[in-house]
Amino acid sequence: MMIIDSPSTNAYFNIASEEYLLYKYPKEDIFLLYVNAPSIIVGKFQNTLSEINLDYVREQHIKVVRRMSGGGTVYHDTGNLNFSFHTLLGKNDFMDFSQFTQPVIAILNKMNVPARLEGRNDLLVDGKKFSGNAKLAKNGKMIQHGTILLNSQMNVLVEAIKVNPLKFVDKAVKSNRARVTNLIEYLPENTTTEILKQLLIGEMLQNNTEASVYQFTKEDIAGIEKLVTEKYSTWDWNYGFSPNYNFKKAVKIPAGFIELHLDVDKGIMEKVKIFGDFFASRPIEELEKVLTGQRHDVDHIEKLLSSTDLTAYFGKVSVAEILELFK
């Protein structure tokens, strides 16, 4: 077994490293550990915009990354330790999460934390979740990865994934907002993700005689960075890959009441309808046509609106006021 402690806290890099390892080492058992700077990791089959508080995420410069596996959205920061097991498909029951959560439970139980696996894929302590786990099967291998909330900023977590469900109608997988807790409440205050990481590495080395610590080579890092550039840092993967959805939002501004309806396919606004009691000197259908076929991406839409005479369609308005409709 290869035990890898990622040298990076960049979520793009660490999520990309899982795919890189999948193809670079198709036969090897791997145990990967990493810590991310503030970031939101969404499941492969989720609608990203309906899972995040977009304004807050942008204001706080929180990275948003789609992973390869299904399941729900999770928040990462430096108070959160992430682990990832890679093994040959068929060696273990795909739906059994217990084998690869056992090392985490074992370490915590030794530290007198009453952690246990409950339900399908969650680790709980006193009925509160501190670890969610997800799986995927690809290229003849199975990956199971999970989070460990040690001392995460819960106020940021709550704000970052708070979204208005009335804005979206889609068939994407929804996150289950379970009651969560930090393990620091059960451990000594000076316990850090680094300490917990080293304890887990020690546990794996002790119980796997053929295990050894592996460090990414320059070739590995270059390969991972290539995946970051081509996939994991792109709008197409993190937002555009979302399932089709309908979006609706209304705002009340001095110029009047404005309501927006969108039909979005692979991140592209295929149908745009704008309603309201505003006064326009030009047909609103002109603006709808400008927006149709464009990405449902706030930065991209802001550029479009900035180069458009919005007063001709809504009266005295600002770009910021109209842009609010698309969030």
DSSP run (H or E) holding 115: strand 115-118
- If you search the block for the tokens 């040959």, which residue do you land on? 88
β-sheet bridge partners, residue 263: 246, 271
Residue 242 makes CB contacts below 8 A (sequence gap 6+) with 46, 47, 48, 49, 170, 172, 264, 266, 267
* CATH class (in words) of the domain with range 244-322: alpha beta
What gap in Å lies between CA 14 and CA 63, rounded to an integer? 12
Distance from C-alpha of 310 to C-alpha of 5, rounded to nearest angstrom: 52
Instruction: Report the distance separating Cα 221 and Cα 214, nearest Å.
Output: 13
Count the alpha carbons within 13 Å of 32 in the hemisphere toward its beta carbon: 29
CATH for the stretch 1-237: 3.30.930.10
SS3 (DSSP) at 181: coil
Encode the chain (327 residues) as per-residue pLDDT tens digits: 999 999 999 999 999 999 999 999 999 999 999 999 999 999 998 889 888 999 899 999 999 999 999 888 899 999 999 999 999 887 666 566 777 788 888 899 999 999 988 776 788 999 898 988 888 889 999 898 999 999 999 999 889 987 666 566 665 656 655 578 999 989 988 899 999 999 999 989 988 888 999 999 999 999 999 999 999 999 999 998 988 899 998 999 988 899 999 999 989 999 999 998 888 888 999 999 999 999 999 999 999 999 999 999 998 999 999 999 999
Sorted by where each begins, the domain ranges of the chain are: 1-237, 244-322
Assigned token pair, 64: 């948003």
Cβ contact 86:27 at 8 Å: no
d(Cα 50, Cα 163) in Å, to the nearest integer? 7
